[in-house]
Amino acid sequence: MEEILEKTISELQLDKSKWKLTKFGDVAIQQKQTVDRENTDLTRYVKGEHMRSEDLHLREWGELTDEYLGPAFIRRFDEGDILYGSRRTYLRKVVIAPFSGITSNTTFVAKANEKKIDKRLLPFIMMSEGFTENSIKNSKGSVNPYINWKDIAKYEFLLPPKEEQVKLVELLWAMDEVIEREREVLEKLNNSYSTSINQFMIHGDLKSEGELVKTKCGLLDSRIGTVKLKDCLAEKPTYGANASSKIHENSAPRYIRITDIDDEGNLIAEDKVTIDSNDYVNYLLAHDDFLFARTGNTVGKTLLFNEKMGESVFAGYLIRFKLNPNILRPKFLFYYTKSLKYESFKRKMIKVGAQPNINSEEYQSMILPEFSIQIQDTLIDKLDFLKYNIDQLKSKISSSHSLQKSLINQVF
């Protein structure tokens, strides 16, 4: 299916000679119905943060009983309406409501004028480069820029005749269906990955019939012992450099900060900086060095450094651990830090009240299940295989999404 769509898109020849220059306000009708939250049968609401960038599907929402909502949450939307984030329009937050609910007055609610446009086509117009560029250009304010409805209503684009709209709609939604199917598979793979990690950290490679016992490492198969991280080190942990950063240059080492590590333990490629100091030799990272974030809201983040990441040094809010690979494989520790056991350790260690913090001594006190190197390698291979499939599918979804964007921009 994907290959057929890709071939169809590459061969798409659009004759726009009969297309009509149309104002957005002629095909989209703003919905302004308000709601008295104290007297309504609606139960769900949508915030801007529930809407994902460049994703027409609403995947998160809230229940009215969940939290206090400010007075701005008065706008009603109905199933099938289009929600558009009017703040920071460069984020391209456009979703189709799967139910009726409430949103804030900073989220536009729109319905298609079906006399002039196939309603299934309207959200794709709002995802196009031209529509987004118009919104950004006409936004007001610098800190939290916003667009007025009257400004997007003036946006002009070429609209195909109704009979051509139907063909384009079928192609656009077929592409969307491909991406949704890939995302469903990805969700299953992610669930399998998480389940496998947690099972391995309880039972290792043993069958799960073993008796579970309470340990300082949580529930463990009674046949498995424990080991303290401190006893798995090749040398004492070290804190990173306290120097400031500056714009990265090709010949300079990368300066890795907490913000350069994502939640999955990957090194973010963008916004590279270097250290603003010549005294950094003690902070140079070697292959398989393990970094823990020690403070802030991201305390507990981890990065397993790989030489392929290039010459790098690490910043002061990170702690470097050098492991004895004959006792604990660095990759095994990385997978352990993706488990529920590690989450439990973090919650126990983070200090309440002040800024969250876990210091070197506290990390060293962490208790892990004790496996032989052979078992660690076996478990690493199994998790590597799952992770490889996840990464491959993510790459495929990214390609499909790029193809979808290309198609939208060819049309509009």
Three-state DSSP class for residue 247: strand
- H or E stretch covering 249: none
Pairing between β-strand 44-46 and β-strand 62-63 as defined by DSSP bridges: antiparallel
For residues 120 and 144, is the Cβ–Cβ distance under 8 A?
Answer: no
pLDDT at residue number 133: 94
**C-alpha gyration radius of the chain:** 26
Pairing between β-strand 254-256 and β-strand 302-304 as defined by DSSP bridges: unpaired
Give me 302's structure tokens.
């981890």
Tell me how far apart the alpha carbons of residues 327 and 232 are, in angstroms, rounded to a whole number: 6
* CA angle in degrees (0–180, nearest 5) for 266-270-273: 100
Tell me how far apart the alpha carbons of residues 276 and 244 are, in angstroms, rounded to a whole number: 6
Tell me how far apart the alpha carbons of residues 108 and 119 are, in angstroms, rounded to a whole number: 16
Pairing between β-strand 312-314 and β-strand 212-215 as defined by DSSP bridges: unpaired
pLDDT digit of tens for each residue in the chain (412 aa)?
555 555 455 556 678 888 999 999 999 999 999 998 888 999 999 999 999 999 999 999 999 888 888 889 999 999 999 999 999 999 999 999 999 999 999 999 999 999 999 999 999 999 999 999 999 999 998 788 999 999 999 999 999 998 888 888 998 999 999 999 999 999 999 999 999 999 999 999 887 777 889 999 989 998 899 999 999 999 999 999 999 989 888 888 999 999 999 989 999 988 899 998 888 899 999 999 999 999 888 899 999 999 999 999 999 899 999 999 999 999 999 999 999 999 999 988 886 556 788 999 999 999 999 999 999 999 999 999 999 999 999 999 998 888 888 888 888 8
For residues 123 and 184, is the Cβ–Cβ distance under 8 A?
Answer: no
**CATH classification number, 225-370, choose in 3.30.70.100, 3.40.50.300, 3.90.220.20, 3.40.30.160:** 3.90.220.20
Tell me how far apart the alpha carbons of residues 49 and 39 are, in angstroms, rounded to a whole number: 25
* DSSP state string for 271-323: S-EEES-S--GGGB--TT-EEEE-BSTTTT-EEE--GGG-SEEEBTTEEEE-B
What type of residue is 35? V
Q: Rounded to 10 degrees, what is the CA torsion of 202, 206, 212, 216?
A: -40
Residues of the chain with CATH 3.90.220.20: 20-159, 225-370
Pairing between β-strand 318-321 and β-strand 290-293 as defined by DSSP bridges: antiparallel
CATH 3.90.220.20 matches 20-159: yes
Closest to 305 measured CA to CA, from 295, 313, 296, 316: 313
pLDDT at residue number 17: 85
DSSP state of 351: P
Calculate the CA 35 to chain-centre distance.
32
pLDDT at residue number 54: 92
